[in-house]
Amino acid sequence: MKKLYRSRKDRKISGSIGGLAEYTGIDAALLRILFVIGLLLSFGTFLIVYIVWMLVVPNEEDVLH
């Protein structure tokens, strides 16, 4: 079973998008581009979701493998 976590090796700010990319199998660069586009079009809603994601999703080393 796959586990969702914030990535340590594919980290730009908090590793949230890198961890999501590993979980879904989608390229992290593509997810980052989609996030920036969504951020611009959502008038800040994506930023709130990103901050909550950072607080809720554990780091990679905190997840038992």
Instruction: Establish if 23 belongs to a structural domain.
Output: yes
Model confidence at 65, in pLDDT bands (50, 70, 90)? low
Instruction: Establish if 39 belongs to a structural domain.
Output: yes
Residue 49 has pLDDT above 70, yes or no: yes
Instruction: Establish if 34 belongs to a structural domain.
Output: yes
Q: What percent of the chain is predicted at pLDDT more than 70?
A: 94
Instruction: Establish if 2 belongs to a structural domain.
Output: no
Domain residue limits at 52: 16-57
| Euclidean distance between CA atoms 20 and 40, whole angstroms | 20
Instruction: Establish if 63 belongs to a structural domain.
Output: no
- Which residue's entry shows tokens 């994601």? 53
Instruction: Establish if 35 belongs to a structural domain.
Output: yes
Instruction: Establish if 7 belongs to a structural domain.
Output: no
Instruction: Establish if 64 belongs to a structural domain.
Output: no
Structure-token pair, residue 5: 């976590």
Q: How many other C-beta atoms can be found within 10 angstroms of the C-beta atom of residue 19? A: 26
- State the greatest distance between any 2 C-alpha atoms of the chain, in Å, as a whole number: 37
Would you state the pLDDT for residue 64? 63
Instruction: Provide the whole-model pTM.
Output: 0.74
Number of domains in the chain: 1
